[in-house]
Amino acid sequence: MSQNLETTYNPKEIESKLYEKWCENQYFHAEVDRSKKPFTTVMPPPNITGKLHMGHALDNTLQDILIRYKRMQGYNALWIPGTDHAAISTEVKVTNQLKEEGIDKKELGREKFLERTWQWKEEYAGTIEGQLKKLGVSCDWDRERFTMDEGCSKAVEQVFISLHEKGFIYKGSRIINWCPVCKTSLSDAEVEHEEQDGFFWHIKYPIVGTDDFLEIATTRPETMLGDTAIAVHPDDERYKDIVGKKCLLPLTDREIPIVADYYVDKEFGTGAVKITPAHDPNDFEVGKRHNLPEINVMNDDATINEQYGGKYAGMDRYEARKAMVADLEEQGYLVKVVPHSHNVGTHDRCHTTVEPMVKQQWFVKMDELAKPAINAIKTGELKFVPERFNKIYLHWLENIRDWCISRQIWWGHRIPAYYCDDCGEVVVSHGMPEKCPKCGCTHLTQDEDTLDTWFSSALWPFSTLGWPDQSEDLDYFYPTDVLVTGYDIIFFWVIRMVFSGYAHTGKAPFHTVFIHGLVRDSQGRKMSKSLGNGIDPLEIIDQYGADALRMTLITGNAPGNDMRFYNERVEASRNFANKVWNASRFIMMNLDEKKLEEPAKDSLHPSDQWILSKCNTLIKDVTENMDKFELGIALSKLYDFIWDEFCDWYIELAKYRIYHAEEDPKGANDALWTLREVLKDSLKLLHPYMPFVTEEIYGKLIPEEESLMMSAWPEYDEALNFPEAERIVDHYKEIVRGIRNVRAEMNVPNSRKATAYVVCEDQTLCDGLAFMTNSAKQMASVLDLVIQKDKAGIADDAVSVVVPDATVYVPLEELIDFDQEIERLTKEETRLNKEIARAQGMLNNEKFVSKAPEAKVQEEREKLETYKQMKAQVSERLEGLKAKQSK
């Protein structure tokens, strides 16, 4: 038997209580169960350095909606949570913490530094977990993983060794992205490109043995000390005669060759470009084709080095730029300086401008590894929602470069490569070798570098399930089903997971990637610390409740699209939660201790059949939308049904039978039974979106069930389609709206009621509407609702409202008190006459017209026209009433 709810809904009181209950009963936990079909997803692991922000809130709300939905559908649903060690970010934070204590990281040493970092991890990693619990996420906390835990670390080492043995991992000198502040290499995916204002410096490069020169434009004159060639297009007629000759490199005594290469765009600029293989990825490729030397002119901190810097050695790159430009101008090499806006790569963590450099690093050879990942999207084995992200994914993979995986930091997975101290042999193995396989030396040193953070998170879908061990979990739950993530990390993470899945398990790690957009502020700006426009999800939860935040994040949300966050929307979401609560409270108060009998569906009141039919269609629509990942559309349909159809219409329709149970016990039973059934299904459909308020209500409504989240998802039932009942109630709603509009237009007070007549020739419709007459008395504020086939007995002056298949008539005399209305309109006419006279007086005043601002004068002209129109309407109505009164 149902129990009553508290008077008001208080999220703070119920949310933590319910979450503890869910965890205690292990409702989120999944074990291998061959009798059920699994549904698996993995949480994109948030960094241990961070705290919950709106992006996390959206991402995890979407995942939670899907996992709750699948769990209720009967799947063995597993959602694996975890955190990422965030190598560079964490190292920076711990280093800064040490600085504040006056401790130098290098003096502390690697082992002591790692001890401090693990302490830091233990202290802060739990922060985001607690915050996610506040949001209501139903992930399996018993299976929580960390990218540097024992199992994940074992997987990382296995993958490195395996790829190295197969020739996919190699160490070589190639162009990489270098961060001069963090002093580490970066992958292409860790470089953000932003538009910056800069310049093109046009410089003369004298052609040796002639009086001619080539004009070269560059945005980075500081790198010219590393120039090793000038390139022109092979088909450029202007330069065919000089290919093979040499140019003098300004500011130096070096001569560099002029080469022909199809990389050059002969239509851009002068058609001649300087080639600096050690400081530009495209130049690096040109250099390889022409066997050019690679001259790195910078130190790791982006100062000019001693070997090639000459007088500029030791200068910061931008300081050197100024000095070189000044010298170029003084020596007559500078032709002109042209403003130029261009994309500049910056480190996504510290936002320092990245410096391309040639360095010895570890790389993953991507050509072959990318092929299965490309094929997966082309064959449909993998799909993106929405599909437009297929192109971005393919473009990235088809143009992918070898992946630089080594990082010059201490926190992270250390590269399992060991160097013989005597002969220099490199051994990649599990653990330190006892001796060098080449010379037998027993003294080996492990590589100092660690692996790119994304190297470990690329293994996340299978390393979290026990790989490389062939566990039962891995066999049952892998491949996973859906990955939910933002479009900003398709390159960072999604692509790496896909090719890693194929390379190490032979399968795609998931079949669907559900992409969402960013959460922006109300002005459409990206939330950031610099703008100070970030909104703390926990503050929203504290003020409005987790359900209100979750609903706000999904309202209007479409896959792949950004959304704007408004506080007004949160208030609207909270109001909806209150609406559901109050409606449920009303229903349960009237259910009380009553024992309800399930009625025969064909004997139900048309309004009962109508709401059951509408709810049945809703179940079908919401299920279809959820399966298509149209979560925002599904929520919109739920909102409209619960607020409008169920609360504002059906509950009001049911009240008469509930309140007059002694007159019609069956009608009261049927109304209450229908209310309970529709509320039960509505709560189930709403539960994935708003888990707390729905669970609390459901637990009181159906106390015999263990939990709403473990109940069955509603299913569409063909037997609950009642098209005729829908037609009747849809007409009834139009009739009620029509009467309400007439009353509003004529300013009829609530206390004054009239008899309304519905003239309808359709006998079936008339019979159906006859069931509604008692409810209409309250809902349309009428004395009675009379259904008839013609106008017999209806006064000639009755106001008419045309609705589909019927006309509603309301006698004018019953609607208004003629004397009161004439008095009111007479006062209104007097007021309008005064306003007209005032406006005309101002507009006839030459001083006002000539001296007042034109906008003010125009405003008065518009007011005058409005007053005249209003007065004409009032006068016309007044004359009509007086005429009727005199009859």
Q: Is the pLDDT of residue 72 over 90?
A: yes
Closest Cα to residue 92, out of 370, 405, 412? Answer: 412
Residue 700 pLDDT greater than 80, yes or no: yes
Q: What is the pLDDT of residue 15?
A: 96
Q: Report pLDDT for 651.
A: 97
Mean pLDDT of all residues in 404-419: 95
Contact 245, 260 (CB under 8 A): no
- CB-based burial label for 111 (10 Å; 0-12, 13-18, 19+): exposed
DSSP symbols for 396-452: HHHTPPPEE-EESSSSSPBP-EEEETTT--EEE-SS--SS-TTT--S-EEE-S-EE-
Decide if 229 contacts 247 (C-beta within 8 A). no
Say how many C-beta atoms besides its own lie within 10 A of residue 137's C-beta.
25
pLDDT of residue 525: 77
Residues 426-455 pLDDT 10s: 999 999 999 998 898 999 999 999 999 999
What pLDDT was estimated at residue 371? 96
At 151-171, the pLDDT tens digits run: 999 999 999 999 999 999 999
pLDDT at 560: 77
What is residue 560's three-state secondary structure?
A: coil
Mean pLDDT of 223-245: 94
Burial string for 294-307 (b: 16+ CB within 10 Å, else e) reads bbbbbbeebbbbee
Note whether 499 and 159 are within 8 A (CB). Answer: no
Classified as helix, coil or strand, 463 is helix
Torsion of CA 303, 306, 309, 310, to 10 degrees: 140
pLDDT at 806: 85
Residue 824's pLDDT is what?
A: 73
Query: Binding site, residues?
Result: 529
Which residues have a Cβ under 8 Å from the Cβ of 552 and sit 6 or more positions away? 540, 565, 569, 570, 572, 573
For residues 855 and 762, what is the distance between their CA atoms, to the nearest angstrom?
A: 57
The number of CA neighbours under 13 Å toward the Cβ of 257 is: 11
Please report the pLDDT score of residue 548 as a whole number.
Answer: 96
The C-alpha angle with vertex 96 and arms to 92 and 100, in degrees rounded to 5, equals 175
For residue 169, list its beta bridge partners.
364
319-341: pLDDT as tens digits = 999 999 999 999 999 999 998 88
Q: Above 80 in pLDDT, residue 594?
A: no
For 542-721, CATH gives 1.10.730.10
Residue 142 in this model has a pLDDT that exceeds 90: yes
**Three-class HEC string of 353-389:** ECEEEEEEEEEECCHHHHHHHHHHHHHCCCEEECCCH
Long-range contacts of 241-249 (CB under 8 A, 24+ apart): 242/207, 242/212, 242/214, 245/207, 245/208, 245/209, 246/207, 246/208, 247/205, 247/206, 247/207, 247/208, 247/213, 247/214, 248/205, 248/206, 248/208, 249/205, 249/224, 249/225
% pLDDT > 70, the chain: 98
Q: How far apart are CA 653 and CA 614, in angstroms?
A: 15
Over 70: is that where the pLDDT of 24 sits?
Answer: yes
What is the chain's mean pLDDT, rounded? 91
Main-chain dihedrals φ then ψ at residue 811, nearest 5 degrees:
-55, 130
Q: Determine contact, residues 308/223, Cβ cutoff 8 Å.
A: no
Q: How many CB atoms lie within 10 A of CB 21?
A: 13
Give the mean pLDDT of 80-104.
91
Q: What pLDDT, on the 0 to 100 scale, is given for residue 431?
A: 92
pLDDT in tens, 816-841: 767 776 787 788 889 899 999 999 99
DSSP 645: I
pLDDT band, residue 2 (cuts 50/70/90): low
How far is 329 from 617, CA to CA, in rounded Å? Answer: 77
Contacts of 480 (CB under 8 A, 6+ apart): 40, 41, 42, 461, 509, 510
List, in sequence order, every residue forming a beta bridge with 631; answer none if it has no partner: none
For residue 529, the model assigns a pLDDT of 63
DSSP 352: P
Cα–Cα distance measured from residue 139 to residue 67, given in angstroms and rounded to the nearest whole number: 8
Q: Where are the domains of the chain?
A: 179-356, 542-721, 744-815, 818-886
pLDDT score recorded for residue 239: 92
Give every CB contact of residue 422 below 8 A, 6+ residues apart in sequence: 436, 439, 441, 443
pLDDT of residue 601: 93
φ and ψ of 276, to 5 deg:
-125, 80
When pLDDT is cut at 50, 70 and 90, the band that residue 682 belongs to is very high
Residue type at 851? Answer: K
CA distance 743 to 505: 71
Give the pLDDT score at 811: 81
Highest mean pLDDT: which range of 186-195, 289-298, 351-360: 289-298
Short-list 296, 279, 302, CA closest to 184: 302
Task: Say how far apart CA 277 and CA 293 lie, in whole Å.
Answer: 8
For residue 528, pLDDT beyond 80? no
Q: Which residues pair with 177 in a beta bridge?
A: 186, 356
pLDDT for residue 708 is more than 60: yes
- According to DSSP, the β-strands at 450-451 and 334-347 are unpaired
In angstroms, what CA-CA distances link 52 with 6, 521, 544?
31, 16, 17
Residues with Cβ within 8 Å of 48's Cβ and at least 6 positions away in sequence, in order, are 83, 84, 85, 86, 90, 121, 124, 125, 128, 146
Distances 362 to 102, 400, 602, 722 between C-alpha atoms, Å? 34, 16, 74, 68
| Residues 546-562, mean pLDDT to the nearest whole number | 90
Distance CA 36, CA 77 (A): 9
What stretch of H or E contains 732? Answer: helix 723-745
| 502: amino acid identity, one letter | Y
Strand partners, 178: 185, 355
The whole-number pLDDT of residue 318 equals 93
Whether 109 shows a pLDDT value over 60: the answer reads yes
Residue ranges of the annotated binding site for ATP are 529
Per-residue pLDDT for 226 more than 90? yes
Contact assessment for residue 509 and residue 462, using Cβ atoms and an 8 Å cutoff: yes
Cα 870 to Cα 749, 861, 867, distances in angstroms: 21, 14, 5
Query: Looking up tokens 């005729």, which residue turns up?
Result: 724
- What pLDDT does 635 receive? 97
Question: 499-515: buried (b, 16+ CB within 10 Å) or exposed (e) per residue?
Answer: bbbbbbbebbbbbbbbb
Q: What is the mean pLDDT of residues 483-508?
A: 91
The type of residue at 107 is E
**Whether residue 1 has pLDDT greater than 60:** no
Cα torsion angle, 62, 63, 66, 71, sign: negative
Each residue of 770-806: pLDDT tens digit? 888 888 888 888 888 889 988 888 877 777 777 778 8
Tokens representing 410 are 């201490």
Alpha carbons 294 and 157: distance in angstroms, whole number: 32
Q: pLDDT digit string (tens) for 741-751? A: 888 877 787 77
- Domain 179-356 belongs to what architecture? Alpha-Beta Complex (3.90)
Positive or negative, the CA dihedral 135, 137, 141, 146 is negative
Sole residue written with tokens 């959820």: 626
- What is the pLDDT, as a whole number, of residue 887? 59
